[in-house]
């Protein structure tokens, strides 16, 4: 099973300079959670589109198989990161709902 830490490490490994702060950072230096989630989803969508483009180029004979595999691996890592964040948010929500008022 993929843990949140493993997903974060996989995501950081796919980035050129490690984990980047999203463009919607708050003024006080903290990160905006909504902007972070939006950035992760956009990264996953971009990686998926890149993988699709590489697959199409390979079918047309214009790309190497290693490029396709690399693009698919990056898309998979991004998707696993988004799913890990989603799972943690759901777990946190369920924990809050179990708290007595």
Token pair, residue 44, equals 């996953």
Q: How many domains does the chain have?
A: 1
In a domain, 55, yes or no: yes
Neighbours of 73 (CB within 10 A): 15
Average pLDDT over residues 4-32: 58
For the ranges 16-25, 37-46, 55-64, 78-87, the one whose mean pLDDT is highest: 55-64
Structural domain contains residue 16: no
Banded pLDDT at 32 (limits 50, 70, 90): confident
Residues 15-23, mean pLDDT to the nearest whole number: 51
Q: Is the pLDDT of residue 47 over 80?
A: yes
Residue 23 lies in a domain: no
**Those residues with Cβ within 8 angstroms of residue 98's Cβ, 6 or more apart along the chain or in another chain:** none
Would 45 be classed as within a structural domain? yes
């Amino acid at each position: 099973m993929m843990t949140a830490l493993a997903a974060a490490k996989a995501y950081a490994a796919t980035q050129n300079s490690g984990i980047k702060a999203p463009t919607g950072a708050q003024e006080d230096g903290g990160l905006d959670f909504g902007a972070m989630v939006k950035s992760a989803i956009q990264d996953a969508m971009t990686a998926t589109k890149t993988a699709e483009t590489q697959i199409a180029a390979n079918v047309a004979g214009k790309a190497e198989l290693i490029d396709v595999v690399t693009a698919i691996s990056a898309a998979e890592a991004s998707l696993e990161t988004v799913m890990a964040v989603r799972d943690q948010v759901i777990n946190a929500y369920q924990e809050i709902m179990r708290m007595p008022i």
